[in-house]
Structure 1
Amino acid sequence: MNDWVSELADRVIAESERRAPGNPVVCASGLSPSGPIHLGNLREVMTPHLVADEIRRRGRECLHLLSWDDYDRLRKVPAGIDPAWEEHIGKPYTSVPAPPGSPHANWAEHFKAPLVEALAELGVEYRGISQTEQYTGGAYREQILLAMRERRAIDEVLAEYRTKEPEGEYFPYRPYCSDCGRDLTRVTAYDDESTELAYTCACGFGETVKLAEHDNGKLVWKVDWPMRWAYEGVVFEPSGVDHHSPGSAWVVGGRLVGPVFGGEQPIGPMYAFVGITGMAKMSSSRGGVPTPSDALEIMEAPVLRWLYARRKPAQSFKIAFDQEIHRLYDEWDALGRKTERLPAEQAAYERAVGTADGALPVTPRPVPYRTLASIVDVTTGDQEQQLRILRDMDVAALEEARPRLDRAQRWVETQVAADQRTHVLREPDAELLASLGEGEREALRLLGEGLDTHWSLDGLTTLVYGVPKLQAGLDPEAKPTPELKAAQRAFFALIYRLLVGRATGPRLPTLLLAVGADRVRKLIQA
């Protein structure tokens, strides 16, 4: 496994020095606040963040620009939003009212806000750029006039990828209607000398404006993107797989950026899909796509950073919202305990736990996530009970187990169905206890007798696995045979049935700690 971040940083620094020696290195991301900004979109930010952060770690000045494409048109209303918002289709996001009940000023701000908060928690340093402010403030006026002068050259490139000929002359600029505010407009005439532009709108309105003074419209996307590469001097900007097909904005932009705008296409690796395992009800009200905020509710920031840092951009990966999160945390904790890591492992770990600006907050006493989830489950959120159990694991205060404890609690609340929660029986199952054979009664007696001397997570693990070995006359260190494994499974199922009324449940040592020795004895006393 190579350290892809360092390799890209080497290339980006060398390319920046070739293009603009001595200037800050410029990395870029672009996001459209069209709806919930999900964990796949986060790769658009994390990839250049990790490269920019590596460049900063080397003592170089590096800017990470995050363009909010908030001047793009509203194309559709996401699931869960009042269909009446369809009347705003065609308006820029900053001119569309926020969804019902939102405290934010407009549609764009509503969907930007959760990501801004998540990026702060993730330690991502960037300079945000509102494309609404850029366009309406006149920042791109000269670039727009240039694109209009070069419209025929632009059209020749676009024509190579078209399957349908456009009606009339091609114009790379589309105004927003001064009457209805939408982009259902068509430019009917343009004069290069006077910069007078005439347009009509589907709403029936039409007017002539002077483009040299007009700030109520934007370049079409395939021209807008390369214009920004040149304007901002972008050296590195990744993009999704959808941007790399023939005729895409990336391909077309690469052909326009030099001849039209006098710039160069950035180094731009393609990044792959980010999948989700076991998404439950957490995001259903938000359109069905989990966001970085959703992920940060159930996992710590360094763990989420690690998922993006350890995989090359072209490698797809999945983020676990189901039971797989326990395995993920086991892997993370094992990496943290390693005294010797492979160079790429070490690099990914360091990038996960901190940035060039310093370390991210961590849990002082990182109890295994699966253990915390079990504790939260069986104590139904009772903090006194949680502390009683954690003290047996040498955790003196709940704060020592946070923020991981809070993340595990949120995972149980949002991802574990109500019928899968653990409910400890109040009274012994007299019928089940009466039906037990002599061997089962002996196993339960050995368990009850060993509780006090084995009252720790490791000790109880040894005890529950050891009882079937003892009954079989085996050494406590004996390697498991198929017969022994079957006996252990049967023993575990019996304990679960006596404690929680079903054959499975949280990890048995954690469950025993949570229930308490006296109550365990009461429920298993045959």
Structure 2
Amino acid sequence: MADSAETDWVSRFADEVISEAERRAPGKAIVCASGLSPSGPIHLGNLREVMTPHLVADEIRRRGLDCVHLLSWDDYDRFRRVPAGIDPSWSEHVGKPLTSVPAPPGSPYGSWAEHFKAPLIDALAELGVEYTGISQTERYTSGVYREQILLAMRERRRIDAVLARYRTKENGEPQEGSAEYFPYRPYCELCERDLTTVTAYDDDSTELAYTCACGFGETVRLAEHDRGKLVWKVDWPMRWAYEGVLFEPSGVDHHSPGSAWIVGEQIVSEVFGGRQPIGPMYAFVGITGMSKMSSSKGGVPIPSEALEIMEAPVLRWLYARRKPSQSFKIAFDQEIQRLYDEWDAVGRKVASGSAQPAESFAYDRAVRTSAGPLPETPRPVPYRTLASIVDITTGDEEQTLRILRDADGLTALDEARPRLDRAQRWVDTQLLAEQRTRVRDNPDTELLDSLGETDREALRLLAGGLDEHWSLDGLTTLVYGVPKLQAGLDADAKATPELKAAQRAFFALLYTLLIGRDTGPRLPTLLLAVGADRVRKLVGG
């Protein structure tokens, strides 16, 4: 067990799970679990359901213990509604299992469930998440849970009594359970939907009678029937006992009074003879500029979309560095540049040995798993620099390599990949048209002719120093140094309010002459991208 003073939240949960495993099931593989319903886009908030147990399971594996991360696809859940943008005729499938609903129009997948599972499966592979996938459709329809279903039906009054503790009458008093409660809902044999009502059940013969809203009805032997499922508040604790789950997080919505997590603690012990897993509540994940995410609203970024604009270790880091109870945001706008600056700074601190323990743990969990390191960019040029370059060059690889050679001494673009490709994708998909950088073709002669002698001298100093300072650091020194020279100050003089004002005015003039607006990418990067000869032409030098 690790020293808690020198650990992160992942290590602390791993300690707790390992201790609990020694009490509950010594010598057996430790089971961590996640559950996702592929009813729609599985977004970046849902990813926390997977990343939290993944990080804990991976830490347990790092310690040399056998640990399984189960990912239950709740693909036997009912299709609840037709999302906006889908042919309204899909309403005929409402109530069917997700695996029985056709995929959205144009999809290559065989069902609604497979369509929404596929992008997450690809994303988890890229993120290095090792798991064992379980289809609840396969589990239920193959009869795997038959004994658990029969047990739940025998104990239906006990289950109803547990649920009744959380039901209230109008006067606030607890409401007693009903003898007519049934924890199993069949899918109709005729229409395949769950618009069914169980009308009778015999414990001895296991004969179950039901009617459906479609008009169909029948009597089946539940000991042989595999076209239905336990209701969610019974299904979840049943699986805890069946799988021997020791760790499974859940969202805030599962922790309110009467929720599946709360009642599940009693049902798993009183009915199925198991114990509730260690289960931290996790907070929501947001997107910069967006409110709390909900997959029902549509248009919410999914993990594969985040991985188009950021490298897998960076996305892993966002989930590893925050406790599950802490909410955080993922940047799809220009904040991604600041995020990458922070990521690179942490990497340098870890490399130099100056990082705090929590920083080192989170960084290590981001860049590798127990199976080995994740792919990394050989020469991690700052993301904001790459974004500026591909914006200015409109993705021209020859020009991009020229600039990167001048800026960082790269000899091939592959040295900057995959980060370069992520920055290119960000520019292509996230940068608004009005934010794109377009270098002027010809000098703004009207502006140049209107300048006073101070501005003309500043431009001459800049143009004359380009060749000598032609590197990212050198050009940084030059653009900040020109106003200092004009003020009679040394190059290393500290900035005064007056000097800062002069620098801002000089920068705005350069931006206007180069790209026609008074702000833009970092000036040193912009100058490198434009090229010395063209800069001199545009600034009248």
- Structure 1-normalised TM-score? 0.98
Are 1:379 and 2:393 counterparts?
Answer: yes
| Matched ranges for 1:389-468 at <5 A | 389-392=403-406, 393-468=408-483
Give aligned pairs, total.
524
Residue 212 of structure 1 aligns to a residue whose secondary structure is coil
Distance 1:284 1:388 in 2: 43
Letter in 2 for 1:58: R
Distance 2:86 2:411 in 1: 46
- Structure 2-normalised TM-score? 0.95
8 Å contact from structure 1 (residues 184, 201) kept in 2: yes
Residue 246 of structure 2 aligns to a residue whose secondary structure is coil
Partner of residue 348, structure 1: 362
8 Å contact from structure 1 (residues 279, 321) kept in 2: no
Letter in 2 for 1:228: R
Residue 101 of structure 1 aligns to a residue whose secondary structure is coil
8 Å contact from structure 1 (residues 80, 285) kept in 2: no
| Matched ranges for 1:21-60 at <5 A | 21-60=26-65
Distance 1:152 1:423 in 2: 72
Deviations 1:420-462 (A, max 9, x none): 1111000000100000000000000000011001111111111
Letter in 2 for 1:344: A
8 Å contact from structure 2 (residues 48, 282) kept in 1: yes
Identity of aligned residues (%): 81
Distance 2:295 2:17 in 1: 40
Residue 213 of structure 1 aligns to a residue whose secondary structure is coil
User: What is the CA-CA distance between 1:286 and the residue it aligns to?
Assistant: 9.6
Residue 423 of structure 1 aligns to a residue whose secondary structure is coil
User: What is the CA-CA distance between 1:329 and the residue it aligns to?
Assistant: 0.4
| Matched ranges for 1:80-159 at <5 A | 80-159=85-164
Residue 314 to residue 2, structure 1, CA distance change in 2 (3 Å): farther
Are 1:314 and 2:325 counterparts?
Answer: yes
Deviations 1:4-32 (A, max 9, x none): 00000000011011100000000000000
Deviations 1:40-91 (A, max 9, x none): 0000000000000000000000000000000000111223222221211100
Distance 2:312 2:32 in 1: 22
Letter in 1 for 2:359: E
8 Å contact from structure 2 (residues 157, 178) kept in 1: no
Partner of residue 489, structure 2: 474
Distance 2:356 2:63 in 1: 21
User: What is the CA-CA distance between 1:511 and the residue it aligns to?
Assistant: 0.4
Partner of residue 71, structure 1: 76
Residue 174 of structure 1 aligns to a residue whose secondary structure is strand
Partner of residue 3, structure 2: none
8 Å contact from structure 1 (residues 243, 250) kept in 2: yes
8 Å contact from structure 1 (residues 80, 287) kept in 2: no
Residue 112 to residue 399, structure 1, CA distance change in 2 (3 Å): same
8 Å contact from structure 1 (residues 123, 355) kept in 2: yes
Deviations 1:150-191 (A, max 9, x none): 000000011121247788700000000000000000000000
Letter in 2 for 1:234: V
8 Å contact from structure 1 (residues 80, 286) kept in 2: no
8 Å contact from structure 2 (residues 33, 53) kept in 1: yes
Distance 1:287 1:90 in 2: 20
Residue 395 to residue 113, structure 1, CA distance change in 2 (3 Å): same
Give the alignment partner of residue 369 of structure 1, picking from 383, 405, 408.
Answer: 383
Letter in 2 for 1:481: T
Gaps in structure 2 of 5+ consecutive residues: 1-5, 170-174
8 Å contact from structure 1 (residues 94, 108) kept in 2: yes
Distance 2:13 2:235 in 1: 25
Distance 2:217 2:296 in 1: 40
Residue 63 of structure 1 aligns to a residue whose secondary structure is strand
